[in-house]
Structure 1
Amino acid sequence: MSADKLLEVRGLRTHFSTRAGAVAAVDEVSFGLERGKILGLVGESGSGKSVTGFSIMRLIDPPGRIVAGEILFKGRDLLRLREKEMQHLRGNRIAMIFQDPMMTLNPVLRVDVQMIETVLAHSNTSRARARELARDTLGAMGISSPEERLMAYPHQLSGGMRQRVAIAIALLHRPELIIADEPTTALDVTIQGQILSEVQNLTRQYGTSLIWITHDLSVVAGLADEIAVMYAGRIVEQGGVDDVLDRPLHPYTLGLLNSLPSSNRHGRRLNQIPGMAPNLLALPAGCAFFERCTRRTVQCEQQRPALDPHGNGHAVRCFHPIGQEVPA
Structure 2
Amino acid sequence: MSELLLDVRNLCTRFYTDSGVLHAVEDVSFTLRAGQTMGLVGESGSGKSVTGFSILGLIDQPGRIVSGEVLFKGQDITKLSKKQLRHLQGNRIAMVFQDPMMTLNPVLRISEQMIEALQAHEKISYADARQRARDVLGATGVPSPESRLDAYPHQLSGGMRQRVALAIAMLNKPDLIIADEPTTALDVSIQSQILAEVQGLVKATNMALIWITHDLSVVAGIADTLSVMYAGRIVETGHVGAVLDQPRHPYTAGLIGSLPGNAEPGTRLQQIPGLAPNMFHPPKGCAFAARCGSATDACQVQPEFTGTEDHRYRCFHPVTLNSNMQELRP
Give the TM-score band, short-chain normalised. over 0.9
Query: Aligned partners of 1:45 and 1:222: how far apart in 2?
Result: 21
Structure 1 alignment gaps of length 5 or more: none
Query: Aligned partners of 2:274 and 2:215: how far apart in 1?
Result: 19
* SS of equivalent to 2:120: helix
Query: Aligned partners of 1:24 and 1:3: how far apart in 2?
Result: 34
Residues 80-108 of structure 1 deviation map (CA, whole Å, 9 limit, x = unaligned):
11111110011110000000000000000
- In the TM superposition, residue 303 of structure 1 has moved relative to its aligned partner by 1.1
- Which 10-residue stretch deviates more, 266-275 or 240-249? 266-275
Query: Aligned partners of 1:117 and 1:285: how far apart in 2?
Result: 48
- In the TM superposition, residue 3 of structure 1 has moved relative to its aligned partner by 7.5
Within 5 A, what are the aligned runs for 1:57-206? 57-206=56-205
Name 1:214's counterpart in structure 2: 213
* SS of equivalent to 1:243: helix
* SS of equivalent to 1:122: coil
Query: Aligned partners of 2:60 and 2:38: how far apart in 1?
Result: 25
**TM (normalized to structure 1)?**
0.96
Q: Is 1:317 paired with 2:311? A: no
Query: Aligned partners of 1:277 and 1:38: how far apart in 2?
Result: 27
Query: Aligned partners of 2:178 and 2:124: how far apart in 1?
Result: 26
Query: Aligned partners of 2:280 and 2:117: how far apart in 1?
Result: 40
* SS of equivalent to 1:9: strand
Query: Aligned partners of 1:77 and 1:95: how far apart in 2?
Result: 17
Runs of 4+ in 1 over 3 A off after TM superposition: none
Within 5 A, what are the aligned runs for 1:240-255? 240-255=239-254
Letter in 1 for 2:55: I
Query: Aligned partners of 1:127 and 1:81: how far apart in 2?
Result: 31
* SS of equivalent to 1:147: helix
Query: Aligned partners of 2:41 and 2:51: how far apart in 1?
Result: 11
- In the TM superposition, residue 116 of structure 1 has moved relative to its aligned partner by 0.8
Query: Aligned partners of 1:282 and 1:95: how far apart in 2?
Result: 33
Name 2:41's counterpart in structure 1: 42
Query: Aligned partners of 2:236 and 2:146: how far apart in 1?
Result: 45
For the Cα contact (< 8 Å) 2:40–2:226, is it kept in 1? Answer: yes
- In the TM superposition, residue 313 of structure 1 has moved relative to its aligned partner by 2.1
- In the TM superposition, residue 282 of structure 1 has moved relative to its aligned partner by 2.2
Name 1:282's counterpart in structure 2: 281
- In the TM superposition, residue 19 of structure 1 has moved relative to its aligned partner by 2.7
* SS of equivalent to 2:11: strand
For the Cα contact (< 8 Å) 2:2–2:35, is it kept in 1? Answer: no
Letter in 2 for 1:166: A
Structure 2 alignment gaps of length 5 or more: 322-330
Supply the RMSD in Å over aligned alpha carbons.
1.2
- In the TM superposition, residue 61 of structure 1 has moved relative to its aligned partner by 1.0
Query: Aligned partners of 2:38 and 2:284: how far apart in 1?
Result: 30
**TM (normalized to structure 2)?**
0.95
Letter in 2 for 1:315: R
Query: Aligned partners of 1:257 and 1:143: how far apart in 2?
Result: 34
* Alignment length (residue pairs): 321
- In the TM superposition, residue 68 of structure 1 has moved relative to its aligned partner by 0.3
Q: Percent of counterpart pairs with the same letter?
A: 63
Query: Aligned partners of 1:87 and 1:286: how far apart in 2?
Result: 38
* SS of equivalent to 2:146: helix
Letter in 2 for 1:307: F
* SS of equivalent to 2:308: coil
Equivalent of 1:305 in 281, 291, 303:
303
- Which 10-residue stretch deviates more, 185-194 or 17-26? 17-26
1:168 to 1:13, Cα distance in 2 relative to 1, 3 A: same
Name 2:327's counterpart in structure 1: none
Residues 239-267 of structure 1 deviation map (CA, whole Å, 9 limit, x = unaligned):
00000000111000000001111111233
Query: Aligned partners of 2:284 and 2:23: how far apart in 1?
Result: 14
Letter in 2 for 1:116: I
* SS of equivalent to 1:222: helix
For the Cα contact (< 8 Å) 2:2–2:34, is it kept in 1? Answer: no
